[in-house]
């Protein structure tokens, strides 16, 4: 059975690969992007035979009214939305003290509040259908902190908590939620078109800041993750009867997340006695 997808951040990278993979399977796709001209141009490269199953719509996820307009267009064209992929986002890197408040707010406006705007718009459609699947693109940085990525990781940790709780709220309506936790994938994420660094340069951080940018720049377009293979995996998950709540994408994500879980368990066990000592003392049996 074919499905109708609604994909944010579909102009390039992982989002565009998901568009191609869903169409190749025979599904319908609503592909959205903040720069509509660039989105439309990217979609022109797709086979003409897929045009009747494809709709392009402008959407800056940080603007709630645009999310509603795009969702209305999707339902008007295809009648339903089966799969929502909240992929739109960017990486605000840099050491925390070198980031201005406005940059932090922009990061959350897109990665967190933008994701919520779109989800809030699509959920009523899925509830009426009593069926749907929401993919929220988190990151290995939503499970594990990284030096020089405090604000980006904070936004993805927020997506993790939101999604785990949302899954409990919507399960009764036949709606599933999957957190996609990619490691490093070979996209434009780390090049100048996407990544951003702090502008408030501090002398104490100068060596660390320079090393951070050099490290990420050297790794750009050399990441191990293949966006095409990730897209194929998500299309498979969308058609599974019982998809997972968490999906670690890439061998680096698998290893990194398992290491975090092991370290967390060991730390809890190390301090277990002190942790449990913070309860009220148990009431003695037989006392009055």
The string of pLDDT tens digits covering residues 38-80 is 998 888 888 888 999 999 999 999 999 999 999 999 999 999 9
Mean pLDDT score of the chain: 92
- For residue 137 the two structure tokens come to 């693109």
| Strand 28-33 relative to strand 132-137, pairing | unpaired
Statement: residue 288 has pLDDT above 60: no
Per-residue burial over 12-36, b = 16 or more CB atoms within 10 Å of its CB, e = otherwise: bbbbbbbbbbbbeeebbbbbbbbee
Output the pLDDT for position 225.
73
- Which residue among 3, 20, 28, 156 is the active-site one? 156
User: What is the rounded CA–CA span in Å between residue 88 and residue 269?
Assistant: 38
Segment 14-27, tens digit of pLDDT: 999 999 999 999 99
156 is catalytic: yes
- Which residue among 62, 138, 155, 163 is the active-site one? 138
Residue reference for tokens 């368990």: 265
pTM across the whole model: 0.90
Provide CB contacts within 8 A for 122, sequence distance 6+: 6, 71, 81, 84, 132, 134
User: What is the rounded CA–CA span in Å between residue 8 and residue 82?
Assistant: 14
152 is catalytic: yes
Task: Please give the order of strands across the beta sheet that includes 246-249.
Answer: 54-58, 28-33, 4-7, 83-86, 132-137, 175-182, 246-249
- Domains in the chain, CATH or no CATH each: 4-274 (3.40.50.720)
Q: What is the DSSP letter of 266?
A: H
- Which residue among 20, 28, 139, 152 is the active-site one? 152
User: What is the rounded CA–CA span in Å between residue 228 and residue 21?
Assistant: 8
Segment 128-147, tens digit of pLDDT: 999 999 999 999 999 999 99
């Amino acid at each position: 059975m074919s499905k109708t997808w609604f994909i944010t951040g579909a102009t390039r990278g992982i989002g565009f690969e998901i568009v191609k993979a869903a169409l190749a399977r025979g599904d319908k796709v609503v592909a959205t992007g903040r720069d509509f001209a660039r989105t439309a141009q990217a979609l022109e490269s797709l086979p003409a035979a897929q045009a009747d199953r494809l709709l392009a719509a402008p959407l800056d996820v940080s603007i709630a009214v645009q999310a509603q307009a795009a969702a209305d267009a999707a339902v008007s064209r295809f009648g339903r939305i089966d799969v929502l992929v909240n992929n739109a986002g960017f990486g605000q890197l840099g050491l925390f003290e070198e980031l201005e408040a406005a940059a932090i707010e922009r990061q959350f406006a897109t990665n967190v509040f933008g994701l919520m705007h779109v989800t809030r718009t699509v959920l009523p459609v899925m509830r009426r259908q009593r069926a749907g699947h929401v993919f929220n693109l988190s990151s290995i940085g939503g499970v594990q902190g990284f030096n020089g990525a405090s604000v980006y990781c904070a936004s993805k940790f927020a997506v993790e908590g939101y999604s785990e709780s949302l899954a409990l709220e919507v399960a009764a309506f036949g709606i599933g939620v999957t957190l996609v936790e990619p490691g490093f994938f070979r996209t434009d994420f780390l090049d100048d078109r996407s990544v951003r660094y702090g502008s408030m340069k501090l002398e104490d951080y100068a060596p660390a800041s320079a090393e951070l940018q050099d490290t990420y720049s050297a790794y750009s377009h050399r990441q191990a993750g293949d966006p095409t293979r990730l897209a194929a995996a998500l299309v498979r998950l969308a058609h599974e009867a019982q998809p997972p709540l968490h999906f670690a994408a890439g061998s680096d994500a698998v290893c990194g997340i398992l290491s975090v879980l092991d370290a967390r368990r060991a730390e809890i066990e190390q301090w277990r006695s002190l942790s449990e000592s913070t309860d009220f003392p148990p009431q003695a049996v037989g006392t009055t």
